[in-house]
């Protein structure tokens, strides 16, 4: 049986998959079962930060596998400690909790927020998040997600989540009360359609949280780890949260998630409060150390800034030529175009032409390529996109 038939027969039907099987990758390209080559502007949805077959990642993973593949968090392990050190020394945060995914990173943030709430009062458990947000599929993260379409089949969800208008400080202020323990926001809404927060909104939230003794949490699962041209997204906006959730790009494709925090949020969880069997797995952490080293010390952040600007320029030029493009949005290598037609149709046609792109909502095409792309890769993508838009 071929892979498609096997998958359709044995895997639960939770994904609308395109009809191609990825068999290998190289740099910023992937290949299918017929050896057809695709330029990959999805990077596994903002995951493969160094693209495919990064030699240093491969060597680090193999070296670690030759030492030990996993050890319980009952013991110390060096790769994990090193990732935590790099994350802390290059941010405003003091401590890190490791898990395996973006949803879990948000679950950790929610538990920190709830326990912090207990220090304010028994009923202080309200968390404010934004409409149109996306925080993951586990029940806590789904409760935080301000989109009914993801929630409606799974109600009742956790109580005490309330949803404010994104980029509207007044709407958040109206919901904050004595029983509010945290505000969670994506600095750039990803799944919701590529909407960056304004600096004023985030700094307004910071001020509000300071005044009301509420924790501010940024969900940087998609927009963090270099994607905007700074290691953390908060650094692009110049507003420090108390907690950050990260995952996707941190280990270049190996599963990892992390929640970092400062101040009281960094020390509120104590032994027995939270744990993860696989959290901080040494092989994932070995790769995360390579990713962080390349972002911080080897010019990848600068590459994101340069190519991000170039991508924006090229998309803006494209908008002038094709009326089907309504708006260009995004920061760094997290860009989107809003279309007057369905994103799915464009994605399907792009695959035929050898380009992988993804949607974000009904009408938005999202570009989240490896952070290592070149201007030539962008030129190639634009040229394929033109062919698609012309058809």
Ligand X SMILES: Cc1ncc(COP(=O)(O)O)c(C=O)c1O
Residues lying near ligand X in the complex (CB under 6 A) are found at 101-103, 106, 134-136, 186, 190-191, 219, 221-222, 247
Taking the complex as a whole, the smallest distance from the CB of residue 54 to ligand X amounts, in Å, to 20
Structure tokens at 294: 């390349």
Taking the complex as a whole, the smallest distance from the CB of residue 46 to ligand X amounts, in Å, to 7
The contacts of residue 86 (CB under 8 Å, 6+ apart) are: 289, 292, 293, 296
Taking the complex as a whole, the smallest distance from the CB of residue 178 to ligand X amounts, in Å, to 28
Q: Kindly tell me the burial class for residue 272, based on how many C-beta atoms sit within 10 Å of its own C-beta (0-12, 13-18, 19 or more).
A: exposed
Taking the complex as a whole, the smallest distance from the CB of residue 215 to ligand X amounts, in Å, to 17
Backbone phi and psi for residue 58, each to the nearest 5 degrees, phi listed first: -60, -50
* Choice between 221 and 288, CB closer to ligand X: 221
Taking the complex as a whole, the smallest distance from the CB of residue 379 to ligand X amounts, in Å, to 28
Query: CA-to-CA distance for 383 and 390, rounded, in angstroms?
Result: 11
* Choice between 338 and 380, CB closer to ligand X: 338
* Choice between 51 and 192, CB closer to ligand X: 192
* Choice between 183 and 221, CB closer to ligand X: 221
* Choice between 325 and 360, CB closer to ligand X: 360
* Choice between 83 and 103, CB closer to ligand X: 103
What Rg value do the Cα atoms of the chain yield, rounded? 21
The 355-356 sheet, strands edge to edge: 22-26, 29-32, 37-40, 355-356
Taking the complex as a whole, the smallest distance from the CB of residue 341 to ligand X amounts, in Å, to 24
Q: Which residue is nearest to ligand X (CB)?
A: 102
Strands (DSSP E) contained in the chain are 22-26, 29-32, 37-40, 95-99, 126-130, 161-164, 180-185, 188-189, 195-196, 215-219, 243-246, 257-261, 325-331, 334-339, 355-356, 358-359, 364-367
């Amino acid at each position: 049986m071929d892979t498609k038939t096997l998958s359709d027969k044995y895997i639960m039907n939770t994904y609308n998959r395109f009809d191609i099987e990825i068999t290998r990758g190289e740099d910023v390209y992937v290949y299918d079962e017929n050896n057809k080559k695709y330029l990959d502007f999805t990077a596994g949805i903002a995951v493969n930060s160094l693209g495919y077959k990064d030699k240093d990642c491969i060597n680090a993973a193999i070296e670690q596998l030759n030492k030990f593949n996993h050890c319980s968090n009952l013991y110390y392990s060096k790769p994990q400690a090193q990732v935590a050190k790099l994350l802390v020394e290059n941010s405003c945060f003091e401590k890190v909790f490791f898990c395996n995914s973006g949803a879990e990173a948000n679950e950790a943030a929610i538990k920190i927020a709830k326990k912090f709430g207990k220090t304010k009062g028994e009923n202080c458990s309200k968390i404010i998040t934004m409409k149109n947000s996306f925080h993951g599929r586990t029940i806590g993260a789904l409760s935080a997600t301000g989109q009914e379409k993801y929630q409606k089949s799974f109600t009742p969800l956790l109580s005490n989540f309330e949803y404010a208008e994104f980029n509207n400080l007044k709407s958040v202020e109206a919901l904050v009360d004595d029983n509010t323990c945290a505000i969670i926001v994506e600095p750039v809404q990803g799944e919701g359609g590529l909407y960056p927060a304004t600096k004023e909104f985030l700094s307004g939230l910071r001020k509000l949280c300071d005044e009301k003794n509420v924790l501010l949490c940024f969900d940087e699962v998609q927009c963090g780890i270099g994607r905007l041209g700074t290691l953390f997204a908060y650094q692009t906006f110049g507003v420090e949260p108390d907690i950050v959730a990260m995952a996707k790009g941190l280990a270049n494709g190996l599963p990892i998630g992390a929640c970092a925090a400062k101040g009281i949020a960094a020390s509120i969880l104590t032994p027995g409060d939270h744990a993860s069997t696989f959290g901080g797995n040494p092989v994932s952490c070995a790769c995360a150390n390579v990713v962080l080293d390349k972002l911080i010390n080897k010019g990848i952040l600068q590459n994101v800034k340069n190519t991000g600007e170039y991508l924006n320029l090229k998309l803006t030029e494209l908008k002038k030529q094709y009326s089907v493009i309504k708006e260009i949005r995004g920061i760094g290598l997290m860009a989107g175009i809003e279309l007057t037609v369905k994103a799915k149709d464009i994605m399907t046609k792009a695959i035929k032409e050898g380009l992988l792109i993804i949607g974000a909502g009904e009408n938005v095409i999202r570009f989240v390529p490896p952070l290592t792309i070149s201007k030539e890769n962008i030129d190639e993508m634009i040229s394929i996109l033109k062919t698609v838009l012309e058809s």
